[in-house]
Structure 1
Amino acid sequence: MQLDATDLKILDYLQTDGRISNQELADKVFLSPSSCLRRVRMLEEAGVIHHYCAVIDTEKVGLEVDAFVQVTMRRDVEQWHENFSQALQQWPEVTGSYIITGDANYLLRVRARNLKHYSSFVLERLYKTAGVLDIRSNIVLQTLKDTQQIDTALLEE
C-alpha cells in the first residue's frame, strides 16, 4: 500500500491518541470528516492499523519485574519450535516473543509481579518445556525508552 503525507499524518495522530474523534482528526489533517473516516477505514482494512489498545503503566498495576529472556533450544527434540511456540501462547507473563539471530533461538519479554513470581515462571514453566536447553535472563533496571509508536519519518523516502 502506498501511503501519502496525509495518511502518515493520520497515523501519527492515531498513534498518539487512538481515541481522537474523527472530527478532530479530520480538522488536524485538513480533510472533511467523511474523507478522513474513509482513509482511516482503508488503513484498517489494509492492515496498516493492526488494532487499538490502551497502554498500561505496569508499575501502577503491580508488575515490578520486566525481563528479557534468551531461550536456546535443543534441536534433537522433535518439533521443538512448534511445541515451544504453542506453549508460550499460554503464558500471560510473556508479553513479547521473537525468533532471533545469534546464539539463542528466541527472545522473550517477560513481566511478573515480583522476583518470586518471575522465578516461579522460569523454574516451573520455562525450564520444564520440552527442548529448552538454556535460558539467559536480563532484568530491566530502568526503562529509558519503550514505545510501540513508529515515527512515520522512517516511512518517507
Structure 2
Amino acid sequence: MQLDATDLKILQQLQTDGRISNQDLADKVFLSPSSCLRRVRALEEAGIIHHYCAVIDATKVGIEVEAFVQVTMRRDVEDWHENFSRALQQWPEVVATYIITGDANYLLKVRARNLKHYSGFVLERLYKTAGVLDIRSNIVLQTLKDTHQIAVELMQDQY
C-alpha cells in the first residue's frame, strides 16, 4: 500500500488516541467521515494498523519489576530455537522477545510483580529450559522514554 500525507496524518492521530471517533478523526485530517473510514479500513486491511490496545501503567497494577534479559543458547541441543520459541509463548512474564545480533541469541523484555517473582521466573523457568546456556539480566531502575508510536517523520522518507 502506498501511503500519502493524509494516511500519515491518520496514523499519527490514531497513535495518539486509538479511541478517537471517526468524526473527530475526519475533522483533524480534513476528510469527510466516509472517506476517513475507508482509509482507516484500508490501513487495517493492509496490516499497517496491526491492532488497537490500552496501554496500562504497570506500577499502578502491582508490576514492580521490568527487566531486559539476554539469553544465549547451546547450539548442540536439538531444535533449541523451536523449543525455546514454544516455551516463550507459555510465559506471561515475557512481554516481548527479539532475536538479536551480538553475543546472545535473544533479548527478552520481562515484567514481574516483584524481585521474588522475577527470581522465580529466572530460576524455575528460564534456566530450566533445554538449551539455555547463559542469561544476563538488566533490571530497569527508571524509564526515561517508552513509546509504541512510530514517528511520522520516519515514515515520510519511505513514501
TM-score > 0.5, shorter chain as reference: yes
Structure 1 residues 46-125: aligned runs within 5 Å: 46-125=46-125
Letter paired with 1:9: K
Alignment: residue pair count = 157
- Which residues of structure 1 form unaligned runs of 5+? none
Letter paired with 1:150: I
Deviations 1:18-43 (A, max 9, x none): 00000000000000000000000000
Instruction: Measure, in 1, the Cα distance between the counterparts of 2:44 and 2:155.
Output: 17
Shift of 1:155: 1.0
Instruction: Measure, in 2, the Cα distance between the counterparts of 1:137 and 1:77.
Output: 23
Letter paired with 2:134: D
2:37 match: 37
1:17 match: 17
Instruction: Measure, in 1, the Cα distance between the counterparts of 2:155 and 2:108.
Output: 27
Instruction: Measure, in 2, the Cα distance between the counterparts of 1:67 and 1:99.
Output: 16
Deviations 1:46-71 (A, max 9, x none): 00000000000000000000000000
Could you list the structure 1 runs, at least 4 aligned residues long, displaced by more than 3 angstroms after superposition. Answer: none
Shift of 1:2: 1.1
Is 1:148 aligned to residue 148 of structure 2?
Answer: yes
Letter paired with 1:102: G
Instruction: Measure, in 1, the Cα distance between the counterparts of 2:64 and 2:155.
Output: 35
Instruction: Measure, in 1, the Cα distance between the counterparts of 2:147 and 2:2.
Output: 24
Instruction: Measure, in 1, the Cα distance between the counterparts of 2:111 and 2:127.
Output: 17
Q: Percent identity?
A: 85
